[in-house]
A = this chain, B = another copy of it.
Amino acid sequence: MSIATAGTSLCRQAAVRSRRHVYHREDPMDARTAGRRYVYAFADGNKGQRELLGGKGANLAEMTRIGLPVPPGFIISTDACRDFLAGRETLPEGLWAQVSEHLDALEAASGRTFGGSEPLLVSVRSGAAFSMPGMMDTILNVGLNDRTLEHIARATQDERFAWDAYRRLLQLFGKVVMGVKGGAFEEELSKAVANAGVRDEIALGADHLRDLTATFKSVIRAHTGQEFPQEPRRQLRQAIEAVFRSWNGRRARDYRRHEGIDDDLGTAVNVQQMVFGNLGEDSGTGVAFTRNPSTGEPTPYGDWLPGAQGEDVVAGIRMTQKLDDLAGPFPQCHQHLTAVMDRLERHYRDMCDIEFTIERSRLFILQTRVGKRTAAAAVRMAVDMATEGLIDDREAVTRVTPRQLDQLLHPQFEPDADYSVLTRGLNASPGAATGHVRFTADDAEAAANKGEHVILVRPETSPDDLHGLIAAKGVLTSTGGLVSHAAVVARGMGKPAICGAADIDIDVARRVFTVGDVTVHEDDIISIDGTTGEVVVGEVPVRIPEPGPEFETLLGWADHFRALRVHANADTGEDAAVARGYGAEGIGLCRTEHMFLGDRLPIIQRVILADTQEEAVAALDELGRVQESDFADLLEPMDGLPVIVRLLDPPLHEFLPDLTELVIAEAKDELDDEGHQLLQAARHWQEFNPMLGTRGCRLGILKPDLYRMQVRSLMRAAVARKRAGGKPIVEIMIPLIVAAAEFRLLAGWVRAVADDVLAEAHVDLPYKVGTMVETPRAALTAGAIAADAEFFSFGTNDLTQMTFGFSRDDVQGRVMPRYLAEQLLPVDPFSSLDPEGVGRLIEIASREGRAARPDLEVGICGEHGGDPQSIRLCHELELDYVSCSPYRIPVARLAAAHAALRASRHDASA
């Protein structure tokens, strides 16, 4: 006799019953009353009901509906979870009655009873609308107790199986439902294995396992002061409550924050009749994907184990077999499974991930969902499926997330590299890095100053560690979640980070960390991959993956749908060439001050230090010559596309040595004449708040020759390019404007110089003069400024700094992590544009600017230009373009397409 009865027939009966005795949701009675419908039989739902039934439940219902072999069961809706949580964690009224009725139906249909002599066993699984793998809890074998155990043993004629099932229930129930902390059960299990003198737990016999259940019961008693509940309905009720509670577990909350999942959604609970893959050689269990989730190749892929339960496959203790090898021992099941997979992929129009169990030669599908895949696989599958006609190109574009595309462009471990994972933590900031271990920020800084690559390893980081984070190539912490200090700061800096790697035990004083019996010392080399959370001892080769041909195809489709243009922030010819290679449609921001660094520093210092007008002019001329050649380099790869050049923006002290160091040198009497000159200049240009001081156009007004030199160099480079047969399109951007009159004055200077150069050269070349809108006041007076300005570019970094009053350098280390942890801000506004404050200013400015000048060109530059959420906001605000770093261009192109497709869906559904 089989434990599972025919799912479909049972489900049909249950569905009939449910229609008879369960109220409909439309019932006008109050939500907190018994009138609300909370429980749905599998046959009552479909895959469109993710929000109500959770993803797992909706898919179980869908598979049941289309006739696939699913063990029967029912779903407790997310409504119930929300009401449970809102009601101080008590089951909402009426819920238990509905569960009981569905249980009755399950019993009646199966001829089995909960706690009876033909005992019904069920699994209780969480299942939210969005996948949160491993974040919430599952309990198997509910319904087992001291009595039903005997019946199971008898029915299956497998005593070992029965005791093993019982000890698993005790273990899971003890941990998840009754809150037994730590490794208490695992410890006893290890002891039992040792006492029995066997290799592992699989080798434990029925007697050992019977003894272990007794031990586990006393563990529960010792830790909780309570007995394991023998009554199956009480087990079920507590298990349901525990799953609901797990929605608000720390890790689940952190995960949702990171993934942008709403905390109010809640989870559903799936109660399903158990089937067993570990009932001997004619049973088994496995996981299968309709396509290869790693490479995207269009052939099924999977692993299975004979005589095993699902968790054994995932746990990786036993060596799994390949899916193709199923055909040998289970030819019919293999054929059946292949048909099911084909059906599912066509039905879901996407790659599906399946859990199956073979119980005594009979195939059951326990779960399906649209399968997770690597970034590379996502791109390949999307393009393949569109080519196959399974989906259209619009759908293909939405199948790849910008974050996946970003991963493709970050360094990662060589896929072919041979390495073993020491441990895993939270993938807190993407990218991979290799370096020498250091345990304190000071040590990290000291090593980095010697040119070493360093990985900073700390229990957690604090603002005092900021210099260490700056010095390190990556960071690894043992505590802290996705919004911990280390995570937030690393993401802000674009460095790899793994946080909350709980298996790591760090001894800072002794400068070692251990994972199990592996010890890693200071200066040892480790590798971390912040995209996957993997920690590896030794060096793993790292590379930026080479995107396949599908990458270009997909982006080509994306370009079709997007409304936003995508420009690049680039200051050099090389960057411009990379950007164009990635599809940039122009340069949105060239920061000319970058041209004053390196070997040009002495020249700009001569400008600053000049005693006489002649000296200043000579130094400026020299600077102008080098800048002209820089501009020539920049214009060449962008031929035919607009190049927006920002005039000098930072304060002058940035081109001088650090004042404190000069002061120390002076105190030690170590300054020569030039040193004293530099000290005097550094004092002169020192400011309390340099970000809000004499910089940008303010400096341009105080030192008009600087801007004139820059405009002259740019226009000369453009003239030369045109004469050489090129098509330069230059736009000159004046930074930090606060008033229309200020812009008018400077734009006048700029146009005068530009026109002079053109007239002198007898070359006709249209150019634009516009401004960076980066002060709140520029946004608030944009209408007046647009009277003279031909374009606006929102400098969202500064605009965010001023709108919040946040100095990024100062708040990022100390304040931001706290603010995100306390949920005072939904997201770091330097990562994603703040819609309420900064976004509102952008909306005001672009609306009023365009009212004054209908053909005003409006875009954003700054790091938000590469952030998908910000790009969506820019699309909604109807900007003309976003500008981001060259390597973010593909991400921005895709995100812009997503934003447009999303908006058109909204329009269509409105």
Please list the residues of chain A having a beta carbon within 8 angstroms of any beta carbon in chain B: 463-464, 659-660, 663-664, 667-668, 684, 687-694, 698, 701-702, 736, 738-739, 741-742, 745, 774-777, 780-781, 784, 798, 801-807, 809-811, 814-815, 818-819, 822-825, 834, 836-838, 840-841
* Residue from the list B688, B745, B781, B809 in contact with A824, Cβ < 8 A: B745
Min CB gap A225→B, angstroms: 33
Verify B692–A805 contact, CB threshold 8 A.
yes
Specify which chain B residues have a CB less than 8 angstroms from the CB of A693 in the assembled complex.
807, 810-811
- Contact: A805 with B688, CB < 8 Å? no
Contact partner, A805, options B464, B774, B837, Cβ 8 Å: B774
Which of chain B's residues have a CB closer than 8 A to the CB of A784? 836
CA distance A805 to B742 in the complex (A): 14
CB pair B780–A836 under 8 Å, yes or no, is yes
Question: Which chain B positions have C-beta within 8 A of A798?
Answer: 805
Select one of B660, B664, B688, B806 contacting A690, CB under 8 A. Answer: B688
Is the Cβ of B807 less than 8 Å from the Cβ of A692?
yes
> In angstroms, how far is the closest chain B Cβ from the Cβ of A787?
14
Quote the shortest CB–CB distance from A420 to chain B (angstroms).
41
Top 4 A-B residue pairs of the complex, sorted by shortest distance between their CB atoms: A777-B837, A693-B810, A689-B807, A692-B807
Q: Given A780-B837, A804-B775, A815-B702, is A809 in contact with B688 using a C-beta cutoff of 8 Å?
A: yes
Q: Are A692 and B692 in contact (CB under 8 A)?
A: yes
With both chains docked as a complex, state the minimum distance between the C-beta of A137 and any C-beta of chain B, in angstroms.
29
| Residues of B with C-beta under 8 A to A825 | 738-739, 741-742
Give A538 Cβ to nearest chain B Cβ, in Å: 36
CA distance A659 to B694 in the complex (A): 22
A815 x B688 contact (CB < 8 A): no
Which residues of chain B have C-beta atoms less than 8 A from A691's C-beta?
Answer: 688-689, 692, 805, 807
> How far, in angstroms, from A684 to B775 measured CA to CA in the complex?
29
> Which residue of chain B lies nearest to A689 when distances are taken between CB atoms in the complex?
B807
Q: Are A803 and B777 touching (Cβ within 8 A)?
A: yes
Nearest residue, chain B, Cβ from A840: B780
Which residues from B are CB-within-8-Å of A780? 803, 836-837, 840-841
- What is the bound-complex CA distance between A893 and B597, given in angstroms? 55
Residues of the B chain whose Cβ atoms lie less than 8 Å from the Cβ of A741: 822-825
State the copy count for this chain: 2
- Extra pairs beyond A701-B818, A702-B818, A741-B822 (6, CB < 8 Å): A688-B810, A689-B690, A689-B807, A689-B809, A690-B807, A776-B841
- Chain B nearest CB: distance from A123 CB in Å? 39
The interface centre, meaning the residue of A463, A689, A701 with most chain B CB atoms within 10 A of its CB, is A689
Output the least CB separation between A737 and chain B (Å).
10
Q: How far is the CB of A793 from chain B (nearest CB, A)?
A: 16
Q: List 12 A-B contacts (CB under 8 A).
A: A464-B684, A659-B660, A667-B667, A687-B807, A690-B810, A691-B805, A692-B807, A692-B811, A701-B819, A738-B825, A776-B802, A776-B841
Contact A815 B698 (CB under 8 A): yes
Most chain B CB within a 10 A radius of its CB, from A776, A805, A818: A805
CB distance A777 to B736 under 8 Å? no
Asked if B803 and A702 make an inter-chain contact with CB atoms under 8 angstroms apart, the answer reads: no
Interface residues of chain A: helix, strand, loop or mixed (majority): helix
For A841, what are the chain B residues with a Cβ–Cβ distance below 8 Å? 776, 780
Residues of B within 8 A of A801 (CB): 692
A805 near B668 with CB under 8 A, answer: no
- CB-defined contacts of A834 to chain B, threshold 8 Å: 777
Q: Report A383 CB to chain B, min CB distance, Å.
A: 42
Nearest B residue to A823 via CB reads B741
Within the assembled complex, what's the spacing in Å between the Cα atoms of A529 and B702? 32
Question: Please, which residues of chain B bring their CB within 8 A of the CB of A836?
Answer: 777, 780-781, 784
Q: How far is the CA of A819 from the CA of B810 in the complex (A)?
A: 29
Shortest Cβ distance from residue A338 to the other chain B in the assembled complex, whole angstroms: 52
Contact B805 A803 (CB under 8 A): no
Check B822–A745 contact: CB distance below 8 A: yes
Instruction: Name the B residues within 8 Å of A692 (CB-CB).
Output: 689, 691-692, 801-802, 805-807, 810-811
Given contacts A663-B663, A777-B836, A802-B802, contact A811 B698 (CB under 8 A): yes
Name the contact of A803 in the complex, choosing from B694, B698, B742, B775 (C-beta under 8 A).
Answer: B775
B residues within 8 A CB of A804?
Answer: 738, 775-777
Q: What's the nearest-Cβ distance from chain B to residue A819, in Å?
A: 7
A684, B659: Cα distance in complex, Å: 18
Q: Which residue of B has the minimal Cβ distance to A744? A: B824
A802 to B806, CA, bound (A): 10
Let me know if B811 and A776 touch, CB within 8 A: no
The chain B residue with its CB closest to the CB of A685 is B814
Q: Shortest distance in angstroms between A820's beta carbon and chain B's nearest beta carbon? A: 11
In the assembled complex, the Cα of A693 lies from the Cα of B660 at a distance in Å of 20
Q: Are B811's CB and A694's CB within 8 A?
A: yes
Minimum C-beta distance from A797 to chain B (A): 12
Q: How far is the CA of A825 from the CA of B801 in the complex (A)?
A: 23
Q: Which residue of B lies closest to A683 (CB)?
A: B464
Closest B residue to A774 by beta carbon equals B805
- Please give the distance in Å from A693's CB to the nearest CB on chain B: 4
Contact status B742-A824, CB under 8 Å = yes
Give min CB distance, A229 to chain B, whole Å.
Answer: 39
A690-B806 Cα distance, complex, nearest whole Å: 10
Q: Cα distance A690–B825 when bound, in Å?
A: 21
Contacts of A814 in B (CB 8 A): 694, 702
Hey, which chain B residues are within 8 Å of A777, CB to CB?
803-805, 834, 836-838
Complex CA distance for A777 and B811, rounded to whole angstroms:
16
**Smallest Cβ distance from A28 to chain B, in angstroms?**
31
Q: Which residue from chain B places its CB closest to the CB of A838 in the assembled complex?
A: B777
A72 to chain B, nearest CB (A): 45
Residue of A690, A741, A810 most packed against chain B (CB within 10 A): A810
Contact in complex: A775, B694 (CB < 8 Å): no
In the bound assembly, the distance between CA atoms of A801 and B805 in angstroms comes to 9
A802 neighbours in B (Cβ, 8 Å):
692, 776, 802-803, 805
> A810 is contacted by which of B660, B684, B687, B745 (Cβ under 8 Å)?
B687
Contact B840 A688 (CB under 8 A): no
Which of A659, A777, A781, A818 lies at the interface centre, i.e. has the most chain B CB atoms within 10 A of its CB? A777
B464, B698, B701, B805: the one within 8 Å of A738 (CB)? B805
Chain B residues with CB below 8 A from A702, complex form? 814-815, 818
Query: Which residues of the other chain, B, contact A824 by a CB distance below 8 angstroms?
Result: 701, 739, 741-742, 745
Report the Cα distance A836→B811, complex, angstroms.
29
- A736: chain B residues at CB < 8 Å are 805
* Cα–Cα, bound, A819→B697 (Å): 11
Residues of B within 8 A of A659 (CB): 660
| Docked complex Cα distance between A828 and B642 (Å) | 37
Q: Is the CB of A803 within 8 A of B776?
A: yes
Chain B proximity of A796: nearest CB distance (Å): 13
Distance of A739 Cα from B828 Cα, bound (Å):
13
With a cutoff of 8 Å between Cβ atoms, the chain B residues found around residue A803 in the complex are: 775-777, 780, 802
Expressed in whole angstroms, the minimum distance between the Cβ of A66 and any Cβ of chain B is 45
Chain B residues within an 8 Å CB radius of A690: 688-689, 807, 810
Which residues of chain B come closer than 8 Å to A694, judged between CB atoms?
810-811, 814-815
CB distance from A890 to the nearest CB of B (A): 32
Distance between Cα atoms of A814 and B806 in the complex (Å): 24
- Which of B663, B742, B781, B809 sits near A664, CB closer than 8 Å? B663
Smallest CB–CB gap between A266 and chain B, Å?
A: 21
**Partner among B463, B774, B810, B819 whose Cβ is within 8 Å of the Cβ of A742:** B819
Q: How far is the CA of A736 from the CA of B810 in the complex (A)?
A: 15
